[in-house]
Structure 1
Amino acid sequence: MERAPVSWVIDPDDPRAPPQEIWDRMTPEERQRVVDALPSEFEISEASPPEGDFHFNAKVAARDTLGGYFQSIGKRVYLACELPVYYPAGRMVAPDLIAVRDVEVKERACWSVSAEGKGVELALEILWNERSKEELENLAARYASLGISEYFVFDRRRRWLRGFRFAAGSARYEPIARQGGRLTSAVLDLDLGLEGDRLCFYHALARLPEPREVLARFRAMVDDLMARREEAEQRLEEAEQRLEEAEQRLDEERQRADEAERRLAEVLVELERLRRERG
C-alpha cells in the first residue's frame, strides 16, 4: 500500500520549515521540494537594519579570513554571512556569520537544519548602529533556545567584544571568560580579539591574516620578483653589451695581427730579394 504524500505549504508571510515529525515522514523528493521553496531572501524586518560598509566589510572580512585559514589546514568548516537558517517549525534566523563544522563546504541558498542534519554551531553578530540591551538579550536568548553552542557579539563602533557559550549541563549561555584580553572559541579552535575597530582571529599567538593582507603580501612578492627580473634582464643586457664590445675589440686585434703578419711577410720578401741582389 502506497503512502499518501505528506503536504507542507510554505506561508510566504511566515516561512517555516516543517516540524521534525512531519519531515521524518517525507520522501526525499518532498523534502527537496520544501527546501527549494524556503525563501533565501528576506524582508528588512526579518533581519538587522542595514549598517553600511562598517558592518558589511567587517562580516565579510571575518568570513573570508576564517575561510582561508580552514582551507589552508584542510579543515571542513562551513561559513556564511546572513544565510537564512530554518529550524524545524521555527521562524527563520540569519546571523551575520555562522559556522558549522564537519559538513560539506559549498554554496547554499539557505540552511535547513532538518535537511543538513545539523544545526548552527557558532553565531556572530556585528554591530555598528546602537542596539538596546533588551534587544541583545532577546537575540542571545533566541540563539540559546536554538541550541547554537557559541554566540559572539562585536560592536565595531564602541570597540567591544563579548562571547557566550552553554554552561555545563545547562541550556543557558554564560559569558566566555577573557584570557589575555581574548575570547576562546571551542567551535573554531581559535581566539577572538580586537585591534582597534577590527575583529581579529588568533591561532596560538599568531593573528590570522585577512585576505586583503594576504593579497597585499602577494602583490609585494610579485612586485619584488618583477623588480628582480628587470634587474636581472638589465644585468644580462649589460653583459651582452660587454661581450659584444669584447668581440669587437678581439676582431680589431685580429685585424691588426693580420696586418702585422702581412707587413712582416712583405719585409721578409724584400730581405730575400736584397740578399739575392747582393749575392
Structure 2
Amino acid sequence: MQRAPTSWVIDPDDPRAPPQELWDRMTPEERQRVLDTLPSEFEVSEASPPEGDFHFNPKVAARDTLGGYFQSIGRRVYLACELPVYDAAGRMVAPDLIAVLDVEMKERACWSVSAEGKGVHLALDILWNERSKKKLEDSAARHASLGIPEYFVFDRRRRRLRGFRLAAGSARYQPIAPHEGRLTSAVLDLDLGLEGDRLCFYHALARLPEPREVLARLGAMVDDLAARIEDAEQRIEDAEQRLDEERQRADETERRLAEALAELEGLRRERG
C-alpha cells in the first residue's frame, strides 16, 4: 500500500508550521523542504518596524550575559534573539530572546518544535515604543498557547518588568510575584531585576556581569599587569645599572690598589 503524498504550502503573510499529524506523516525529505521554506527573515513593515538602540542593546546584552554565564558553569542553554518559532499549535512568534535547555548548541534559521522535538522554555520581550494593554495581553496569550513555560516583558521606557509562568496543567499564564523587587525564573535558575532602565540577572545576590563589563575588567587587569611589568623591568634596569656602577668602582679600587702596591714595591727596591 502506497503512502498518501503530503504537502504543506507556506502562506507568506502568515507562515505556520504544519499540523503535528501531517508532520508525523511526512518523509524526512518533505520535512526538510518545509524547514527550508519557513521564512527566517521578514520584510520591514509597520507590523515589524526597525528597532533602535533602546531596544536592540538590552536584547543583545541579555543574550550575551546569559550566554557567558551558562558557558562558565558548563550548562547547555541555547539562546537566540528574534528567532522565528514555529509550532503546530499556533502562529509563528519571534520573541526578542528565547532560551531552550539541553539542546545542541548550533546556529539555526528558525526553531521548529516538530523538528527539534521540544518547545521553547523561556521567552523575553523588550518594549520601547508604547503598546496597549490589549496587545500585551494578546502577546502573552499567544506565548502561553505555545506552551512556553515562562514569559517576561521588560518595558524599558516605563522601567517595568513583568513575568508570567504557566500554572501546572494549564495553558494560561499566572503572574510571577516579585520578591524583594526581583522576579525568579525557574527555567534559568536566576533572578531578573532592574537597575534604572537596565535589565539585570542575578545568581543569589550577585549580579551577572555583562560582557562589556567583563572586557572592561580584563582591560583594567591587562593595563595593571602591563604597568607592573614595566615597573619591574625598570627596577631590574636600575639594579643592573647600580651593579654596573659597583663593578666600575670595584675595578677602579682594584686598579688603584695595584698602583699603590707597585709603587710600594718600587720604594722597597730603591731602599734595598
TM-score by length of 1: 0.93
Residue identity matched to 2:99: A
- In structure 2, C-alpha distance between the alignment counterparts of 1:47 and 1:111, rounded to whole Å: 21
Task: Describe the superposition over 1:252-274 as per-residue Cα deviations: whole angstroms up to 9, x where unpaired.
Answer: 111111111211111111121xx
Of residues 5-14 and 227-236 in structure 1, the stretch that sits farther from structure 2 once superposed is: 5-14
Offset of residue 41 of structure 1: 0.2
Q: Match for residue 67 of structure 1? A: 67
Offset of residue 27 of structure 1: 2.1
Q: Match for residue 223 of structure 2? A: 223
Q: Match for residue 135 of structure 1? A: 135
CA 1:2–1:239: 2 relative to 1, 3 Å: farther
Q: Match for residue 85 of structure 1? A: 85
After superposition, the CA RMSD in angstroms is 1.6
- In structure 2, C-alpha distance between the alignment counterparts of 1:261 and 1:247, rounded to whole Å: 21
- In structure 1, C-alpha distance between the alignment counterparts of 2:201 and 2:18, rounded to whole Å: 37
C-alpha contact (below 8 Å) 1:23/1:31 kept by paired residues: yes
Q: Match for residue 263 of structure 1? A: 263
C-alpha contact (below 8 Å) 1:8/1:18 kept by paired residues: yes
- In structure 1, C-alpha distance between the alignment counterparts of 2:114 and 2:62, rounded to whole Å: 27
SS at match of 1:92: strand
Task: Describe the superposition over 1:162-198 as per-residue Cα deviations: whole angstroms up to 9, x where unpaired.
Answer: 1011123321111101111110001111000000000
Task: Describe the superposition over 1:194-243 as per-residue Cα deviations: whole angstroms up to 9, x where unpaired.
Answer: 00000000111111111111111100100100000010011011011101
- In structure 2, C-alpha distance between the alignment counterparts of 1:214 and 1:116, rounded to whole Å: 33
CA 1:146–1:90: 2 relative to 1, 3 Å: same
- In structure 2, C-alpha distance between the alignment counterparts of 1:43 and 1:115, rounded to whole Å: 25
- Higher Cα radius of gyration: 1
CA 1:201–1:42: 2 relative to 1, 3 Å: same
SS at match of 1:151: strand
% identical equivalent positions: 81
Paired positions, count: 272
Offset of residue 13 of structure 1: 3.4
Unaligned runs of at least 5 residues, structure 2? none
SS at match of 2:90: coil
Offset of residue 47 of structure 1: 5.8
C-alpha contact (below 8 Å) 1:47/1:94 kept by paired residues: no
Offset of residue 5 of structure 1: 4.8
Offset of residue 116 of structure 1: 0.5
- In structure 1, C-alpha distance between the alignment counterparts of 2:237 and 2:192, rounded to whole Å: 52
Unaligned runs of at least 5 residues, structure 1? 273-279
Task: Describe the superposition over 1:33-80 as per-residue Cα deviations: whole angstroms up to 9, x where unpaired.
Answer: 221221110134496433410100000000100010000000111111
Residue identity matched to 1:213: E
SS at match of 1:91: strand
Q: Match for residue 275 of structure 1? A: none
1:157 aligns with 2:157: yes
Matches within 5 A, 1:206-217: 206-217=206-217
Matches within 5 A, 1:1-279: 3=3, 5-45=5-45, 48-88=48-88, 90-272=90-272
